[in-house]
């Protein structure tokens, strides 16, 4: 317990739209955690919990899915981060401290997404309510009855219900009637040799330890194959798969993971899909590890651990032998891709390099040439892989390589690797008159960039195959939906990549793996797709797609906006009457920090751009609404799917605009600003209700593989409480 990270440990937020904190715990965990467990955590009994829930207007008895603890634990942690201390949070999850520490460290930067801090929360313990708290509870029940009158009825689609779509391995498209094909046929201008992406539903941190949580069910593999995907990727950590003697207990369970990986590669092969592993190595180790092996330590990061220094022959052997071991143990493994610089602490150069030495504080690496050191890590991995399987692709990703030495690093790579760039990295933007630069994750700005083109051409002259990392279905511009219906932008990007001579596409990071949406563009033009999927309404849908694509170009892109602004949480994000004092976090908590949200954009431009985006997006929705009465039955499923996803995206974009306007107006005391605040609260509440109605019918809404659900139905109901409480504060009546 003492070793769990706390960071600065500030005082936890308070949520005054609840009468007590223990009621907030019940609310946010209702139908996620069993009433019996909630009773144990809050030091009361199950009957009391059920009575408290009924008094709040919640559905009793609850319909609790065990999948939340298996596949939704990030959502649970995020919901309770400010409500419970570690002890109660782990009791809620049924975890020990080792499990919590591993998830915070290895679950795709979860500690960073939580703000690199654990708020100081006192234990939440049940007690009898005061008369004022009982009255507040009654008002909450009334709010639920007013805005969610069918709350007691069953939901049309339960959480994680989309998994049922992946149970069948029959090769059919997920939404009729795009014609499936056993052998995908690609247009002449879109023939990419390698087309790989991440699972829509895999558990990220340790995906191989529990065979029941299959990262790639047969039905998902079948649908991806139909769409033209020929490889999938999975993150692995070498110390969990390779029993190097010094890893010791950190390798516990490696046999089980290797067997799961073997089975996955064999199953995927039946669908003519290969499995590529992601290596971000050598992974940093806890400081306790270096108490036993101090001679292996490179640089150190407080609260994270230390790097295994890759200038040491012993660590170099680890990389080479560990990579070889994977391919010896899993003969059907299809390849690897590497990241050698990232937020993860791996080699001593992984956190970036200054323009001149010393490049870091490692006594062995401080004066080394960064290009040489980074190329060396990739060479060692390639040597290990190719000692077992000379034909397996080893894809070297230049993520975060410094422009000052990136071309030199390409020159130092082995002759038998592939070379990958983020297609849009370095692309200049001019949105709302504000100039910026893309790093990653932009669909609104189709690449490729001059930087990527230059590096690809350099690699191609060396004879290396080149790969473009792109986001096809969605991005951190709006991650909580299976796809963004902006095919014009994606088609423009794909055609440029084909012209640039790249041979492979990494179609997604951890988001964007749903087998539908823009992935169809691998085999069809947008015009063909509209005609096939929507029949007589193809022209109308094509007009709507154009409207969405045009509107999306107004997204005020920068990586800071993509990571920090509210568009990934949408209406779920709570509004505060006074500044919360908390920063926004990477794809985790937007909170209310407008300065974090807007990044390079002035406040007024930032607000205007999201207004333009939402207004333009609404034009596309209006086209769909007008066309809806003419939908024939064969095309109904495809049309309804598009309308749900597009409406949910509108809720996110419009809510982001309203939240910006709210923060800009909340400190003002004039009558016009007060009226504006009340109008914002009314519209925010309605957006939460609209999104709630969609999410009850479609379990994909709000879900993303690494953040799990960005919001639950309870979160959207909580937003109604939040808006009504603030309306009273600003002198308005309940909505």
Per-residue pLDDT of 276-326, as tens digits, reads 999 999 999 999 999 999 999 999 987 788 999 999 999 999 999 999 999
CA distance readout (Å), 115 to 104, 298, 563, 565, 652: 11, 26, 12, 14, 22
Decide if 486 contacts 445 (C-beta within 8 A): no
Backbone angles phi, psi at 447, to 5 degrees: -85, -165
Q: Tokens for 653?
A: 């974009």
Instruction: Kindly state the percentage of the chain with pLDDT values over 70.
Output: 98
- Report pTM: 0.96
Least confident of 175-179, 498-502, 507-511: 175-179
The per-residue pLDDT for 660 is 98
Q: For the residues 61-70, what does the mean pLDDT come to?
A: 96
Give the mean pLDDT of the chain: 95
Decide if 523 contacts 182 (C-beta within 8 A): no
- Tokens 């039955």 found at: 633
How would residue 189 be classed by pLDDT, with cut points 50, 70 and 90? confident
Decide if 656 contacts 691 (C-beta within 8 A): no
Q: Say how far apart CA 53 and CA 254 lie, in whole Å.
A: 43
Residues of the chain with CATH 3.20.20.80: 185-532
- Specify whether domain 185-532 bears CATH 3.20.20.80: yes
The per-residue pLDDT for 40 is 98
CA distance readout (Å), 36 to 92, 408, 584: 10, 61, 34
Decide if 724 contacts 16 (C-beta within 8 A): no
Q: Among candidates 576, 571, 734, which has minimal Cα distance to 655?
A: 571
CA 435 to chain centre: 26
How would residue 540 be classed by pLDDT, with cut points 50, 70 and 90? very high
Q: Say how far apart CA 69 and CA 393 lie, in whole Å.
A: 36
DSSP-derived secondary structure for 715-727: HHHHHHHHHHHHH
CB neighbours (10 Å) of residue 3?
10
Asked if pLDDT for residue 343 goes beyond 90, the answer is no
Q: Tokens for 620?
A: 């596309």
């Amino acid at each position: 317990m003492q070793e769990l990270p706390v960071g600065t440990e500030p005082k936890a937020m308070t949520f005054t739209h609840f009468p007590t904190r223990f009621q907030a715990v019940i609310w946010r965990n209702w139908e996620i955690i069993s009433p019996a467990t909630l009773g144990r955590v809050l030091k009361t009994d199950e009957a009391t919990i059920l009575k408290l829930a009924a008094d709040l207007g919640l559905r009793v008895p609850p319909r609790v899915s065990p999948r939340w603890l298996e596949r939704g634990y990030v959502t649970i942690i995020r919901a309770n981060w400010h409500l419970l201390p570690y002890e109660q949070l782990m009791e809620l999850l049924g975890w020990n401290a080792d499990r919590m520490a591993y998830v915070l460290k290895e679950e795709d930067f979860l500690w960073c997404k939580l703000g690199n801090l654990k708020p100081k929360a006192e234990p939440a313990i049940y007690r009898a309510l005061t008369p004022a708290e009982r009255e507040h509870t009654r008002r909450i029940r009334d709010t639920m009855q007013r805005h969610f009158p069918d709350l007691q009825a069953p939901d049309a689609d339960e959480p994680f219900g989309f998994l049922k779509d992946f149970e069948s391995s029959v090769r059919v498209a997920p939404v009729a009637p795009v014609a499936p094909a056993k052998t995908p046929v690609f247009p002449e201008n879109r023939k990419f040799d390698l087309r790989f992406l991440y699972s829509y539903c895999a558990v990220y941190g340790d995906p191989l330890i529990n065979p029941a949580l299959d990262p790639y069910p047969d039905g998902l593999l079948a649908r991806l194959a139909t769409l033209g995907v020929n490889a999938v990727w999975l993150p692995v950590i070498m110390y969990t798969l390779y029993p190097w003697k010094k890893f010791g207990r950190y390798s516990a369970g490696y046999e089980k993971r290797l067997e799961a990986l073997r089975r996955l590669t064999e199953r995927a092969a039946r669908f003519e899909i290969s499995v590529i592993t992601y290596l971000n190595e050598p992974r940093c180790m806890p400081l306790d590890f270096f108490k036993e092996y101090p001679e292996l330590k490179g640089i150190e990061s407080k609260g994270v651990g230390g790097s295994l220094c890759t200038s040491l022959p012993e660590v170099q052997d680890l990389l080479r032998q560990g990579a070889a071991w994977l391919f010896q143990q899993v003969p059907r493994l299809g390849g690897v891709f590497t990241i050698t610089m990232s937020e993860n602490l791996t080699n001593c150069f992984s956190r970036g390099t200054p323009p001149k030495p010393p490049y870091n504080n490692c006594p062995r690496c401080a004066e080394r040439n960064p290009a040489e050191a980074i190329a060396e890590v990739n060479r060692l991995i390639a040597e290990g892989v190719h000692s077992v399987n000379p034909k397996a692709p080893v894809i070297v990703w230049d993520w975060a390589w410094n422009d000052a030495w990136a071309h030199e690093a390409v020159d130092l790579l082995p002759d038998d690797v592939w070379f990958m760039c983020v297609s849009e990295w370095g692309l200049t933007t001019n949105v709302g008159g504000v100039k910026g630069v893309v790093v990653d994750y932009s669909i609104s700005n189709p690449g490729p960039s001059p930087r990527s083109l230059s590096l690809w051409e350099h690699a191609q002259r060396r004879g290396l195959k080149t790969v473009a990392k792109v986001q096809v279905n969605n991005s951190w511009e709006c991650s909580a939906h299976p796809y963004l219906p902006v095919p014009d932008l994606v088609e423009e990007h794909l055609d440029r990549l084909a012209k640039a001579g790249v041979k492979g596409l990494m179609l997604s990071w951890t988001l964007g793996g749903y087998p539908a949406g823009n992935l169809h563009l691998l085999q069809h033009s947008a015009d063909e797709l509209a005609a096939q999927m929507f029949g007589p309404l193809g022209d109308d849908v094509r007009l709507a797609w154009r409207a969405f694509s045009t509107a999306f170009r107004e997204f005020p892109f920068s990586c800071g906006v993509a990571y920090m602004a509210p568009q990934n949480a949408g209406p779920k994000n709570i509004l505060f009457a006074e500044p919360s004092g908390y920063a926004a976090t990477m794809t985790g908590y937007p909170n209310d920090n407008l300065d974090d949200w807007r990044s390079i954009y002035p406040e007024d431009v930032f607000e205007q751009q999201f207004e333009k985006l939402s207004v333009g997006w609404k034009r596309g929705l209006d086209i769909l609404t007008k066309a809806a009465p003419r939908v024939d039955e064969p095309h109904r499923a495809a049309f309804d799917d598009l309308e749900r996803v597009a409406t949910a995206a509108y809720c996110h974009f419009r809510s982001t605009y309203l939240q910006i306007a709210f923060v800009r107006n909340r400190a003002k005391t004039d009558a016009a600003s007060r009226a504006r605040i009340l109008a914002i609260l009314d519209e925010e509440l309605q957006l939460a209700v609209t999104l709630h109605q969609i999410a009850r019918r479609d379990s994909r809404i709000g879900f993303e593989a690494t953040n799990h659900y960005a919001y639950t139905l309870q979160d959207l109901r909580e937003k109604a409480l939040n808006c009504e409480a603030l309306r009273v504060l600003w002198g308005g009546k309940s909505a």
